[in-house]
A and B are shown apart, each in its own frame.
Chain A
Amino acid sequence: MNFIEARKLVHEYIRRDEEGNVESIQTALDHVDIDVKPGEFVAVLGHNGSGKSTFAKHLNVLLVPTEGTLWVDGKDVTEEENLWDIRKNAGMVFQNPDNQIIASVVEEDVGFGPENIGIPTEEILKRVDKSLKSVGMLEYREHSPNKLSGGQKQRVAIAGVMAMEPKCIVLDEPTAMLDPNGRKEVLDAVERLNQEKGVTIILITHYMEEVVRADRVYVMDQGKVVMEGTPREVFSQVDTLKKYRLDVPQITLLAHELRQAGMAVPKGILTRQELVEALCQ
């Protein structure tokens, strides 16, 4: 069974004037079908305004569908009584590391989620330990979040979600405000959670290099899913990606241009290593 199952999902942002008349309708999701299996690492790509964040917010029931259906962990998001179950099982990490840390001490922030779902005290302490360790931030447990780097803050935010022991983590551009080092830290932590703990990951991103690590990729444009497949399949279509104003990873682009120049390089090269091997044959 799929962990996430979106069928013809539609979301419209309706803007009303003061009298409550509809002023404009923005269709942010337009009949979206997305499936994610338990334990999968799925990336969602798309240009600005393509509806990625809107989709992510549905997974945590921060928004509800205008039309269509969405099941998370086998539960229908439109049913009120599923709300807390879904939020507990699909954690969410946002873009700005400052605006999602609630407490003034790292460990208290990580404990915030478990406190909300009524976990007993001793168990909270255990979970805080465990989740800080899983993102490599245990030695910072007594620190103030203000003094951490962006990457560290983001890992604290991930630990805060992990402490609720979700089956799935949705990350909405978690690296957009980070430097390359912070970006790597965060992605390594995410990948480890996926591989070692089997947490389902949905990574929304702008950076093509990050997508290479995923099992599957969805590409969105103007509220629609326009491409789907493994990173290799998606990145082998360089021209289609360009149409959606997306760049491919540098290495893939290089391979693509070499092939167009007539060299025998296979499609969908993702890493430097692969390109080296292809060229040295």
Chain B
Amino acid sequence: MPGFERWLSTPGGKVAVIRSELALRDRLGGLLVRLDVGRERYAVPAGLYALGSPDAAAPVVVTANYKLTFDVVRRALAGRSLWLLVLETHGINVWCAAGKGTFGTDELVRRLQITRLDEIVSHRRLLLPIFGATGVCAPEVKRRTGFAPTFAAVRVTDLPHHLDHGGETTALMRAPTFTVLERLTLTPVELVGGFKAALPLFALVAIIGAFTGGSPVGGALYGVGALALAIIAGSFATPILLPWIPGRSFAFKGALLGAVVTAAYLATGDPTRHWHAIAAHLLLLVPVSSFAALGFTGCTPFTSPSGVKKEMRVALPLFLASVVLGAVAFGLGLGGA
């Protein structure tokens, strides 16, 4: 168990006391997860934990059993004495797990019963992250267990303020942020996923490039480079530059950046290229960037499913048309060469 310090005996049984400092192992593990290595099983056992030396009146903080979340929570609450009720979300973070329902009413009720929390604490209050409300119905939890959930803050780092100010939640504590750094930490998974999904495309581009370029190796590399840049434009550059790219549609933002990046690549690579080649590159690669950018809607805390559906209804036919035209331009180029 990560960060285990000692056992604490309570009226409800033994509870593991955990440290709030992270070990080097925790940090390294966190890094690997961010890079999408071994992301599948990064969980801590669900159950009740103690931070510091909590008593029957100490607050109860509810969180998910995703190891990274668990680490962020115990670090943010360093120096405090409280109970940590960790739900079984199968190693998935609160937001995603709440959407799936694993961070949900039933699991919370079950975990309260298994841990016999009602025998350990004298109060009946639970502190939950605001993003957990998608899966947890507070009135139902209250009816079924007597415990009343409060959705205290979006970020656990704001929990100390809530605890120290009589349960106050300011407007800022309710608002999610989406800083450059937060967006940056989300991009590795997007990039790796994008490149993996595009492997067949890479093979295709390399073969076509080898047969149509000046030299086989040079032609293959040129095509592979163009495709790689298009993916980076959509999966990396668009998320990072998100608020500064004009428009609201992610597909549009990605297409815009893809067009700029592809045009720059063509201009620096071989400015003497025929217009057929230029048109073919743009028409074939802009949809790639656009689609990659659209994929990032899954990572943001502000895009709605209805909005994404609307984008897809508009974008998918355009992608198809663009790819067909691109293929035609490419064919014309071959015919004229």
A, B from the same assembly: no
A contact residues vs B (CB 8 Å cutoff): none
